[in-house]
Amino acid sequence: MPTYDATVVTKTKSAGGMILGKTAQDEFGFGTFSDTCAYAVPKNPIDPERTCGGSSGGAGCLAAAADFPHIAIAESTGGSITAPAAFTGTVGLTPTYGRVSRYGLIDYSNSMDKIGVISRKVYDSALMLSVISGHDPLDSTSSRAESGDFTAYVGKSVKGIRIGIPKEYFSDVDRKVSKPVEDALGRLEGMGAKTVDISLPRTKYAIAAYYIVAMGEASTNLARYCGMRYGAQEKIDGEFSEYFSSIRSKYFGEEAKRRIILGTYVRAAGFRDAYYTKALKVRGLLIKEFKEAFAKVDVLATPSMPILPPRFDEIESMSPLDKYNIDKMTTAPNLCGFPTISVPAGKVDGLPVGLQLIADHFHEGELISVASAFEGDSD
């Protein structure tokens, strides 16, 4: 039971927003398919045999299915806004790291967690972003970058906008997904945008670096859950080590346990430099690589996800590593804190495909312009 409001909630309420409730997500945000939700698993409104994506699956589901004006607040660490947006055919806006205060956000990976928006229209995401952005003295990582009204970027022309196409994001992707994205880029060119071929060769290290840092940080964030003061508790009995182990083992889901153990491992003495510290250096390298690209282009364009929304039985047969690899379109920009937006780029076999746009730090404006232009053209 929360004893305080998150800053995002306070801002929403001050702006006159009505909080309807909470939506389902993977436990602690650990997942790409919302298949580890504590309560029921959200089913894709387009095809209930299929996933909504995750971890903000419930948000995506509601955004797609609600027949009343509604905007969902969602969270992304490695792509958990983009995945549900792509799989439910909605708009998912992941702001720059530090753009939105994390105060009150239950931590997964503090150097990568970002609160964002899932909505039907780009305008709604831009509106919500304007409400929830801004410096917060309660969050030491919160940025002082100018926020303001992001809806001003809606409807701007894309003439002359340079869109980079990183080739690494189009290899090893289901053709059913890359085709609509390529078509989308063609349409944007038709509106006056210029596409530029780009290479981001260090992309191949992104998933490993992402998961090392994310699990490393997560394993410390989850240490506080030990049956004291809040959460699952049982009768205090026995010595603390026994009590803590017993309660944690009983109440954490399998994926949470897996990530805690892996996260503990990458931080452990003897492994820390090779994994954790190295991954942080790789992050530095990746940021540099992206920044070099942004010197040449305004946004990057990729498919949001490498596959169409899978069925639940397909997900069942995936190994944990298979699942981690599904994040490969989103991990690099998320690890590096760059803002992204996912817009519906059409349907294949009746299933939605998302176009992901990535911009430089604090350049959400460009994302909103291009996305809204594309959305306007699609209508």
Partner 1 sequence: MRVIAIKVMIGLEVHCQLNTQSKLFCSCEAYPQNAKPNESVCEVCLGYPGAKPVLNKKAIDHVVGIGIAMGCKINSETYFSRKTYFYPDMPKNFQITQYEVPIASEGTIEVNSSKIRIRRVHLEEDPARIIYANGSLETTSYVLIDYNRAGVPLAEIVTEPDIGSPKDARAFLEKLSAILEYLKAYDQSTGASLRVDANISIEGGERVEIKNVTGFENVEKALNYEIVRQQNLVRLGRKVERETRHFDEVAKTTLPLRKKEFEEDYGYIFDPDLPVLKISAEWITRIREKMPDLPDKIAARLADEYGLGAYDAKIIVYTGSDFATFFEKVCKIHNKPVEVSRWMINYLLKSLNWRSERLSQSKVTPETFAEFLDMIDKGKVNERYAKELIKEYVDTGDKPSEIVERAGSPPTHDEMERTVKNVLKENVKAVSELKAGRLEAKQYLIGMVLKETRNRGDPKAIARMISEELKMPL
Partner 2 sequence: MVDFQKVDASLLDRMCSVAKLTLNTSEKKKFLAEMSEILAAFGTVEEAYVGDTPPAYHPTAVENIWRDDTIIKKSKLDIGKNTNALEDGYVVGPKLV
Contact segment (CB under 8 A) with partner 2 among 19-27, 57-65, 164-172, 203-211 equals 203-211
Smallest distance, Å, CB 257 to partner 2?
6
Smallest distance, Å, CB 261 to partner 2?
5
- Regarding 109 and contact with partner 1 (CB under 8 A), the answer is yes
Give 141 or 195: the residue with its C-beta nearer to partner 1: 141
Q: Which two tokens stand for residue 133?
A: 């952005």
- Regarding 237 and contact with partner 2 (CB under 8 A), the answer is yes
The SS3 call for residue 358 is: strand
The candidate with the shortest Cα–Cα distance to 58, out of 28, 26, 90, 18, is: 26
- Regarding 224 and contact with partner 2 (CB under 8 A), the answer is no
> Of 226, 287, 318, 348, which one interacts with partner 1 (CB under 8 A)?
226
What whole-number distance in Å separates Cα of residue 269 and Cα of residue 259?
18
Smallest distance, Å, CB 165 to partner 1?
32
Chosen from partner 1, partner 2, none, partner binding at 204 (C-beta under 5 to 8 Å by type):
partner 2
Contact segment (CB under 8 A) with partner 2 among 82-90, 116-124, 285-293, 301-309 equals 285-293
Give 275 or 338: the residue with its C-beta nearer to partner 1: 275
Smallest distance, Å, CB 285 to partner 2?
5
Give 137 or 160: the residue with its C-beta nearer to partner 2: 137
Q: Which two tokens stand for residue 96?
A: 């720059």
The one-letter amino acid code at 46 reads I
What are phi and psi for residue 198, nearest 5 degrees? -130, 150
The SS3 call for residue 39 is: coil
- Regarding 321 and contact with partner 2 (CB under 8 A), the answer is yes
> Of 337, 344, 352, 365, which one interacts with partner 2 (CB under 8 A)?
337
- Cβ atoms of 32 and 25 within 8 Å: the answer is no
Residue 313: which H helix or E strand, with range? helix 312-316
- Burial class of residue 211 (count of CB atoms within 10 Å of its CB; 0-12, 13-18, 19+): buried
Torsion of CA 242, 247, 252, 256, to 10 degrees: -30
- Cβ atoms of 253 and 225 within 8 Å: the answer is no
- Regarding 139 and contact with partner 1 (CB under 8 A), the answer is yes
- Cβ atoms of 96 and 88 within 8 Å: the answer is no
Smallest distance, Å, CB 226 to partner 1?
6
CA distances from 131 to 6, 14, 81, 128, 332 (A): 14, 9, 18, 5, 27
- Cβ atoms of 215 and 110 within 8 Å: the answer is no
- Regarding 14 and contact with partner 1 (CB under 8 A), the answer is no
DSSP letter (8 states) at residue 306:
S
Smallest distance, Å, CB 274 to partner 1?
14
Give 47 or 244: the residue with its C-beta nearer to partner 2: 244
Contact segment (CB under 8 A) with partner 2 among 12-20, 160-168, 173-181, 254-262 equals 254-262
CA distances from 268 to 96, 101, 211 (A): 30, 30, 15
Smallest distance, Å, CB 193 to partner 1?
36
What whole-number distance in Å separates Cα of residue 342 and Cα of residue 241?
45
Site string (339-368) toward partner 2, x via CB under 8 A: ----------------------xx------
Smallest distance, Å, CB 119 to partner 2?
24
Give 108 or 338: the residue with its C-beta nearer to partner 1: 108
Q: What is the CA radius of gyration of the chain?
A: 20
Residues 6 or more apart in contact with residue 18 via CB below 8 angstroms:
none
Specify the residue for token string 């790291």. 97
Smallest distance, Å, CB 200 to partner 2?
13
Do you find a cis peptide bond into 143, omega within 30 degrees of 0? no
Chosen from partner 1, partner 2, none, partner binding at 6 (C-beta under 5 to 8 Å by type):
partner 1
Q: Which of residues 2-61 bind partner 2 (CB under 8 A)?
A: 3
- Regarding 246 and contact with partner 1 (CB under 8 A), the answer is no
Q: Site residues (CB under 8 A) for partner 1?
A: 2-4, 6, 102-107, 109-111, 137-141, 216-217, 219-220, 223-224, 226, 228-230, 236, 240-241, 244, 264, 267-269, 272, 276
